[in-house]
């Protein structure tokens, strides 16, 4: 359990997993260093200081969760777990039930060490990077949490909504259609009101993970869920202009209001998105007028710019989605041996389900459940089902199954009219102009045909028992 992001950074330093970078430019350079470093094996946390044009001590941290070990650390999972074992550990924890612990309000906290209001508000005081070469501007909010209160029901929503600086006291936030932030804003706008919002731009990792976690019921605050994951309630303090509960140990919090679109919009984007493209383009977004900024001494802006590899910008979002899908499959059928999202294919695109077939249609039933459940309903492009001898987290094995157990005529099905979004690069220009983002979803059964699976040619892979015995006897030849 961490009190703030600084605890997490200090632990990374002690284990030799943090690199200090001084003198980088906020204009693309921080983003480029982050991207290239994250591609390296055992990529360290990067802490940027003495950033061009900013006061020393105003820092940016990136690549916090680029290794399985640090992802496990943030989620409170076994540190040695990798791949499917990491998913299984999270699935088991979720299945056992995460208690909901409401936050505890405190009078103050480190986030109130500095307070700017009125004309003193200046977003350019902070080293918000332009992350990608073709981004439309500087994004202060990537590893951020938007905090909103439902005006009718009173509960607090936390969501990761990207935040672009428009001028020294104005930002825009992107609320995906149908997301909770979008629905809450629309409730205020329907009453002719602006929506109060607080934006935390650096916080302890478990809280940030909760802000983009799948499967939290409507009406339940992510603060409560984060408390359960942490095993201790989150400490919050009232914002100075919105009264919203903000993390007491946050690094930077922006407070303001999202004005109705008819009152004011600004052009947002383009932005390098999770799918690996600038697909969303430039669009009008409601203006968010910032009334106050709270920040710690020597603040650390949390940077998690989108990338096609989920581990570069999230707390194992692909792990979270796989665990949620696995639990949903277990609720409806038997025989599921593992679930994985192919990170290399971009986060939402390709879940892989390993199943021990027990009756005709078993594999297809699993695929159809996955086609519509909460963890896979948005932006999923292909669902692959493989046999129990395939590790879904091993891309090599999945490709082997696709290359040897698929009959293109009988193993592939297509489902039309599924949920998509503006970030889908395959939306035609015509449909994009109309705001129509539905997409087609494919199902691939890369399994031995059930009717004659027992007669399927045996694999040349050695048995698990022989592998165990060999590695035990010849330990010096094997590193893992």
Per-residue confidence (pLDDT) for residue 373, from 0 to 100: 86
Question: Quick one: which H or E segment has residue 332?
Answer: helix 317-332
Per-residue confidence (pLDDT) for residue 480, from 0 to 100: 56
Angle of the 83-96 helix axis to the 68-75 helix axis, nearest 10 = 10
**Average pLDDT of every residue of the chain:** 92
How many whole angstroms separate alpha carbon 316 and alpha carbon 68? Answer: 8
Per-residue confidence (pLDDT) for residue 91, from 0 to 100: 92
HSE at residue 455, side-chain half, CA atoms within 13 A, is 4
Question: Does the pLDDT of residue 98 top 80, yes or no?
Answer: yes
Per-residue confidence (pLDDT) for residue 128, from 0 to 100: 97
Q: Which band of pLDDT confidence, cut at 50, 70 and 90, is reported for residue 274?
A: confident
Query: What mean pLDDT do residues 321-332 have?
Result: 93
Are 343 and 318 a contacting pair, CB within 8 Å?
yes
Are 206 and 2 a contacting pair, CB within 8 Å?
yes
Are 66 and 312 a contacting pair, CB within 8 Å?
yes
pLDDT tens digits for 157-215?
Answer: 999 999 999 999 999 999 888 789 999 999 999 999 999 999 999 999 999 999 988 77
Per-residue confidence (pLDDT) for residue 184, from 0 to 100: 96
C-alpha to C-alpha distances, 303 to 1, 86, 270, 373, 474, nearest whole angstrom: 21, 24, 17, 30, 44
Question: Does the pLDDT of residue 289 top 70, yes or no?
Answer: yes
- 98 compared with 327, residue with greater pLDDT: 327
Question: Does the pLDDT of residue 254 top 80, yes or no?
Answer: yes
User: What is the separation, in whole angstroms, between the first and last Cα of the chain?
Assistant: 29
Tokens representing 368 are 């159809």
Q: Which band of pLDDT confidence, cut at 50, 70 and 90, is reported for residue 119?
A: very high
Ramachandran category for residue 228: left, alpha or beta (phi over 0 → left; psi -120 to 50 → alpha): alpha
Per-residue confidence (pLDDT) for residue 327, from 0 to 100: 93
pTM of the predicted model over 0.85: yes
Are 26 and 138 a contacting pair, CB within 8 Å?
yes
C-alpha to C-alpha distances, 416 to 180, 290, 426, 438, 445, nearest whole angstrom: 25, 42, 14, 8, 18
Query: What mean pLDDT do residues 246-275 have?
Result: 95
Paired strand residues for 163: 141, 173
How many whole angstroms separate alpha carbon 281 and alpha carbon 433? Answer: 11
Tokens representing 227 are 């408390």
Closest CA to 320 of 94, 5, 162: 94
C-alpha to C-alpha distances, 104 to 5, 203, 228, 332, nearest whole angstrom: 19, 16, 13, 37
Which domains does the chain show, CATH number per domain?
Answer: 98-309 (2.30.110.10), 316-473 (3.40.1670.10)
Closest CA to 262 of 183, 193, 332, 171: 193
pLDDT tens digits for 424-463?
Answer: 888 888 888 888 888 899 999 999 999 999 999 988 888 8
Closest CA to 411 of 382, 391, 377: 382
Per-residue confidence (pLDDT) for residue 379, from 0 to 100: 86
Are 352 and 337 a contacting pair, CB within 8 Å?
no
Per-residue confidence (pLDDT) for residue 375, from 0 to 100: 80
Are 101 and 228 a contacting pair, CB within 8 Å?
yes
Per-residue confidence (pLDDT) for residue 40, from 0 to 100: 87
Place of tokens 């672009």: 164
- 223 compared with 426, residue with greater pLDDT: 223
Q: How many residues does the chain have?
A: 480
Per-residue confidence (pLDDT) for residue 418, from 0 to 100: 86
Q: Which band of pLDDT confidence, cut at 50, 70 and 90, is reported for residue 126?
A: very high
Place of tokens 């919002």: 197
Question: Does the pLDDT of residue 311 top 90, yes or no?
Answer: no
Question: Does the pLDDT of residue 156 top 80, yes or no?
Answer: yes
């Amino acid at each position: 359990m961490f009190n703030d992001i600084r605890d997490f950074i200090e632990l990374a330093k002690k284990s030799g997993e943090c690199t200090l970078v001084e003198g980088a430019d906020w204009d693309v350079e921080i983003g480029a260093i982050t991207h290239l470093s994250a591609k390296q094996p055992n990529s360290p946390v990067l802490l940027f200081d003495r950033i061009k044009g900013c006061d020393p001590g105003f820092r940016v941290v990136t690549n916090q969760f680029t290794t399985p070990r640090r992802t496990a650390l943030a989620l409170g999972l076994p540190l040695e777990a990798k791949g499917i074992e990491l998913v299984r550990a999270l699935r088991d924890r979720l299945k056992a039930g995460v208690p909901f612990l409401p936050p505890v309000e405190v009078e103050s906290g480190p986030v109130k060490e500095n307070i700017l209001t009125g004309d003193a508000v200046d977003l350019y005081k902070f080293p918000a990077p332009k992350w990608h070469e073709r981004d439309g501007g500087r994004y202060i909010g990537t590893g951020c949490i938007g905090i909103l209160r439902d005006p009718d029901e009173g509960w607090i929503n936390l969501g990761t909504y990207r935040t672009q600086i428009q001028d020294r006291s104005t930002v825009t936030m992107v609320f995906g259609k149908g997301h909770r932030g979008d629905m809450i804003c629309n409730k205020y706008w329907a009453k002719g009101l602006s929506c109060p919002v607080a934006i935390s731009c650096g916080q302890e990792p478990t809280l940030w993970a909760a802000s983009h976690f799948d499967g939290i019921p409507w009406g339940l605050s992510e603060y409560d869920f984060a408390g359960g994951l942490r095993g201790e309630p989150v400490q919050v303090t009232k914002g100075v202009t919105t009264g919203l509960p903000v993390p007491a140990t946050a690094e930077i919090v922006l407070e303001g209001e999202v004005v109705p679109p008819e009152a004011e919009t600004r052009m947002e984007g383009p932005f390098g998105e999770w799918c690996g493209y600038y697909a969303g383009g430039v669009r009008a977004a409601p203006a968010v007028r910032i009334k106050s900024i709270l920040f710690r001494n020597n603040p650390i802006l949390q940077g998690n710019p989108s990338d096609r590899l989920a581990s570069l910008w999230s707390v194992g979002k692909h792990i979270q989605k796989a665990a949620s899908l696995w639990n949903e499959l277990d609720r409806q059928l038997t025989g599921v041996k593992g679930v994985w999202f192919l990170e290399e294919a971009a986060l939402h695109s390709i879940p892989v389900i390993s199943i021990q077939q027990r009756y005709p249609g078993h594999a297809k039933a699993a695929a159809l459940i996955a086609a519509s459940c909460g963890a896979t309903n948005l932006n999923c492009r292909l669902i692959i089902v493989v046999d129990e001898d395939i590790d879904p987290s091993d891309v090599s094995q999945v490709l082997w199954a696709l290359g040897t157990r698929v009959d293109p005529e009988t193993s592939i099905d297509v489902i039309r009219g599924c949920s998509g979004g503006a970030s889908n690069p395959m939306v035609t220009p015509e449909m994009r102009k109309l705001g129509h983002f539905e997409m087609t979803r494919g199902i691939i059964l890369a399994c031995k045909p059930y009717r004659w699976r027992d007669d399927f040619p045996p694999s040349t892979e050695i048995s698990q028992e022989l592998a165990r015995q060999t590695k035990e006897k010849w330990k010096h030849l094997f590193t893992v």
